[in-house]
Amino acid sequence: MAKDIEVGTEYAPKDYQDPPPAPLIDTEELGKWSFYRAIIAEFIATMLFLYITVLTVIGYKSQIDTDHNGEQCGGVGILGIAWAFGGMIFVLVYCTAGISGGHINPAVTFGLFLARKVSLVRAIMYMLAQCLGAICGCGLVKAFQKAYYVKYGGGANMLNDGYSTGTGLGAEIIGTFVLVYTVFAATDPKRNARDSHVPVLAPLPIGFAVFMVHLATIPVTGTGINPARSFGAAVIYGKDKAWDDQWIFWVGPFIGAAIAAFYHQFILRAGAVKALGSFRSNA
């Protein structure tokens, strides 16, 4: 009987405790190799992401160019481009999640910073690594296919004709919200503690979120939802139009990420209710 009670106690459900928030400024990270390894992983992942996806965009445009024996319905189409972006995110998040968290996007890093999942030092270094990786990825594309790169727009994000600035900004805000909300849901430690399969499947819904958002917003802005992706393409392409609309691809994603962080932490995870309860107890 005592043994049965002991076994029952051992497997009884326990209250879940949230991990402590990351310190705002953690200078100790600067002395750890794991910190720099994570930065390198973010740089390489973003470089590979831009290399594959921008090549896909340029390849598609060259295949439908009727002036050069292309076919109007040829190439991979918008569906193929969306798969390239979503598929690469799935692969790269899977590869780097255990090293850096697999952010590969300054908006994701910003949202996780607001939720106190990463320190300010790590967030800044991740964003720098992501932007530099994006520039290098687009630079590789231009080095290998310079004529096509310039002719077909370099994969740069721009507000397409017929859409207002407000529409483009709204598309970036909502698209990034979908992505960052999915990241929070897929990596929620409380959910991971309950459902052991979630950490294994986390890259899949994140990749699908990128895929679905691209299907919806490619006709509007070419789909940014990743400031590093838009910035790297604009730097290497260097044309005025890409720079004129560049602010949309920073302001929109950062607003969307902030809303997603607030929604997940304070609404779904009841952070506001817990804070109010603590305030009432102290009063």
Of 90 and 202, the structure prediction assigns the larger pLDDT to 90
Q: What percent of the chain has pLDDT over 70?
A: 83
Of 195 and 104, the structure prediction assigns the larger pLDDT to 104
Asked whether the whole model's pTM tops 0.75, one would answer: yes
Residue 118 has pLDDT above 80, yes or no: yes
The mean pLDDT of the chain is 86
Q: What is the mean pLDDT of residues 205-216?
A: 96
- pLDDT tens for 160-175 read 999 999 999 999 999 9
Write the secondary structure of 89-154 as one string of H (helix), E (strand) and C (coil).
HHHHHHHHCCCCCCCCCHHHHHHHHHCCCCCHHHHHHHHHHHHHHHHHHHHHHHHHCHHHHHHCHH
- Among 1-10, 71-80, 143-152, 213-222, top mean pLDDT goes to 213-222
CB 173 within 8 A of CB 211: no
CB 113 within 8 A of CB 24: no
Residue 107: which residues within 8 A CB-CB, separation 6 or more?
176, 179, 180, 225, 226, 227, 253, 254, 256, 257
Q: Tell me the angle at which helices 120-144 and 227-237 cross, rounded to the nearest 10 degrees.
A: 40
Quickly name the fold that domain 28-265 has. Answer: Glycerol uptake facilitator protein (1.20.1080)
At residue 199 the predicted structure's pLDDT band, cuts being 50, 70 and 90, is low
pLDDT of residue 193: 57
Least confident segment among 139-143, 253-257, 272-276? 272-276
Residue 248 has pLDDT above 80, yes or no: yes
pLDDT of residue 206: 95
CB 264 within 8 A of CB 276: no
- Among 15-24, 198-207, 222-231, 233-242, top mean pLDDT goes to 222-231
Residue 253 has pLDDT above 80, yes or no: yes
At residue 196 the predicted structure's pLDDT band, cuts being 50, 70 and 90, is low
Domain ranges of the chain: 28-265
pLDDT of residue 12: 44
- pLDDT tens for 80-106 read 999 999 999 999 999 999 999 999 999
Of 279 and 115, the structure prediction assigns the larger pLDDT to 115
Residue 245 has pLDDT above 70, yes or no: yes
Least confident segment among 28-32, 58-62, 183-187, 269-273? 269-273
Least confident segment among 1-5, 183-187, 243-247? 1-5
